[in-house]
Chain A
Amino acid sequence: MTSAPKLLLSSVAKGDVLPSLRYSVTATTVVLGAMASRDWRPMHHDKDFAVERNGLPDIFLNTPNQAAWFERYVTDWTGPHGRLGRVTFRMKGSVFPGDVMELYGVVDDVVIDRVGCGWAQLSVVLRVGDEEKTTAVVRVALPVDESDNPWRRRTDQWRP
């Protein structure tokens, strides 16, 4: 079986907008995400602790699970040939059960580096209502043509 890349660098341009992702967060979302990332801290599963000790309205999504949401959002767009190179997060607020979170992304730049690897740089925002909760700058490698595969790049051919 040979699977063709879903998205080539040549079909991406600065200013392109990624399809948005909307998700209703529940207590299960928060607890499952914390346990999946081996984060046993009580503010991610114990509402009494979050309220009484942290002064927050409820338990909230932990950072590693938010990273997993951002990865899923970006690779839903690229398909499996897309390879993350670099992500920079900035946390601004918490995401609680009952929130409807939305992820939005835009392409800020498209380049081919000096070893021939194609890169899209994205700004991705996780919002609840009008409030930005987390922002990320993502550098993701995309195939430059049908025969290219960023995952085959190793050592000095991979410069994330």
Chain B
Amino acid sequence: MSPGPAPVPADVEAVIGVAQYEEVGEFPVERGYVWTSCASVENGNPLFWEDEVAEEITGGPIAPPTMISVWFRPHHWAPGRSAARLPLQVHFDLKERLALPEAVMTDNTIVFHEPVRPGDRLRTHQVLRSVSDEKTTKLGTGRFWVIDVEYRNQDDELVAVESYTGFGYRREGG
């Protein structure tokens, strides 16, 4: 009888559904970045440029929804910081714990809830949603996993959830 697929380690199972790496953005949401972002893609949506339109339609200025991850990218340098912070730390934890040196992201879904507004202090955490049994693809043998990144504002309202599907793997013969 051949051995069955390797089970997901118990310590990995234990963190499925658990909020990890809670953090608060390093700076409040601000309009300078909103305008720079809109300028970079020539986005003339009046919600971001005309206060009167924003007031009427969205109850005041908002940030483009797709900017959600921008508010959490750390400064390139900050006093006292000794190591660069990694976004999506749970992904890197899984690679290391499961001894899967290579990884790709296959899909990225963003679901938008309450609008993000200038002055908001956003916070975030990561949640491992699932880890698959071992699979073999053309890249190699490894596991798929789904990680959610949830974002909330200072009033604890959900503003967005990003879901990443990753595949960590070993190259054949590696």
Q: Which of A11-19, A33-41, A47-55, A105-113 binds B?
A: A33-41
Instruction: Please state if A90 and B106 are interface contacts (CB–CB under 8 Å).
Output: yes
Q: If A71-B65, A71-B66, A75-B43 touch, does A80 touch B57 (CB 8 Å cutoff)? A: yes
Looking at chain A, what size class is its interface with the partner chain? 35 or more
Q: Which residues of B contact A68 (CB under 8 A)?
A: 37-38, 40-41, 43, 64, 66-67
Instruction: Please state if B53 and A85 are interface contacts (CB–CB under 8 Å).
Output: no
A29 to B40, CA, bound (A): 7
Instruction: Please state if B111 and A85 are interface contacts (CB–CB under 8 Å).
Output: yes
A152 to B43, CA, bound (A): 22
Q: Which of B43, B70, B115 contacts A72 (CB 8 A)?
A: B43
Q: If A37-B37, A68-B67, A160-B112 touch, does A149 touch B57 (CB 8 Å cutoff)? A: yes
Looking at chain B, what size class is its interface with the partner chain? 35 or more
B88 to A: closest C-beta gap in Å: 12
Q: Which residues of A contact B38 (CB under 8 A)?
A: 68, 72
What are 24 A-B pairs with beta-carbon distances under 8 A?
A1-B53, A1-B56, A2-B56, A32-B39, A37-B69, A40-B76, A64-B67, A65-B40, A65-B41, A68-B38, A72-B45, A75-B43, A76-B45, A80-B46, A80-B47, A81-B57, A84-B65, A85-B111, A86-B112, A88-B107, A88-B108, A89-B107, A151-B58, A160-B113
A: residues with CB less than 8 A from B are 1-3, 29, 32-33, 35-40, 63-65, 67-72, 75-76, 80-81, 83-91, 149, 151, 154, 158, 160
